[in-house]
Amino acid sequence: MKKVLLTSVVAAGILFATPQVTDAALGDQTLRMGMSHSDVTELQEALKGKGYFNFHTATGYYGTITRDAVRQFQASNNLQVDGIAGPQTFRALGASGGQAPASTSSNTTVSASSAGILRVGSRGSAVTSLQQQLRDKGHFSSAVDGVYGPLTQSAVRSFQSAMGLSVDGIAGPQTFNALSSGVVQSANTSNSTSSSSGSTASSSSVNTSSLVSFARTLVGTPYRWGGTTTAGFDCSGFVQYVFSNQGKSVPRTAAQQWNAGTTVSTPQVGDLVFFETYQSGPSHNGIYIGNNQFIHSGSSTGVTISSMSNTYWAPRYLGAKRM
């Protein structure tokens, strides 16, 4: 982390400010409520990498959400629970001694040529970056630890399935290319289906009555970040699961589902409705079921039915798409 120190030099009656750059480790800092700094951003990213700041975007402001995430991390690691990020907390995060937190690996893209082929048993920074990319795309919700184990393998399989790749749980060139480009490989999920004729054919392949009936059977299923099974769903995982049950393949994340669908001005039963919540763009979605209602997996409710006119959802509505 760079700190800029200003030294003043007076020459010919003119004051010049000369920047001097020194290095300081994140672990050297003590961060607490009310602070606003790039160090706080790194702290938030480190917490996100450990699974304690998943539903929010790093802002650089140490507010109640950051404090609560620090408290949860401290409690889980048998530290003093005070909501203040000091040396002990940073050491537990792996951010002491000038080492950047693991989550900062998201700034480094692993290419097929540099990472080679990763599989169960692989370890190191390439696996760390792979895990972070999978997390960013909504397929990995465990700790980013640089170890390619069963959880990472399962996340790779989930991503490969969503992108129409060969599902083998091995991260090779095709998987890395898809992670980097975000291009959907399958004809069922490519943007080519967004033409009106393709949309009609796709819609006709799904019985919307059956789709909604099945979705309703899942009401009460808990919310889980990155969840794609009845043990717990996130919003797009729920959508993907319901459509898959009806024999329709859709991409994994809300943003990908938004890009893969055809825009409709007024949603009909079975269409997807999208909202802008914790970040810019389509970050939440659900299935329209008629009567101005949609079924979705909310972070505080699990799978539930909500009104489009709800004071929370109405101002956040982005639009509807037909898959």
Tokens matching residue 219:
């009401």
Residue at 287: amino acid letter:
I
Under a CB-based contact definition with an 8 Å cutoff, are residues 26 and 95 in contact?
Answer: yes
The position carrying tokens 């002990």 is: 88
> Angle 35-38-39 (CA atoms, 0-180°, nearest 5)?
70
Is residue 284 annotated as part of the catalytic site, yes or no?
A: yes
Tokens matching residue 259:
């890009």
The position carrying tokens 């609560």 is: 68
Is residue 296 annotated as part of the catalytic site, yes or no?
A: yes
Residue from 156, 127, 121 nearest 144 by CA: 127
For the residues of 65-122, what is the DSSP string, one character each? Answer: HHHHHHHHHHHHTT---SS-B-HHHHHHHT--TTPPPGGGGGGSPPPHHHH--B-TT-
* 100 DSSP assignment: P
Among the listed residues 37, 56, 139, 296, the single catalytic one is 296
Is residue 139 annotated as part of the catalytic site, yes or no?
A: no
For the residues of 224-247, what is the DSSP string, one character each? Answer: -TT-EETTEE-HHHHHHHHHHHTT
Among the listed residues 37, 56, 139, 235, the single catalytic one is 235
How many CA atoms, within 13 angstroms, populate the side-chain half-sphere of residue 314?
5
Among the listed residues 37, 56, 139, 284, the single catalytic one is 284
Q: Which residues are catalytic?
A: 235, 284, 296
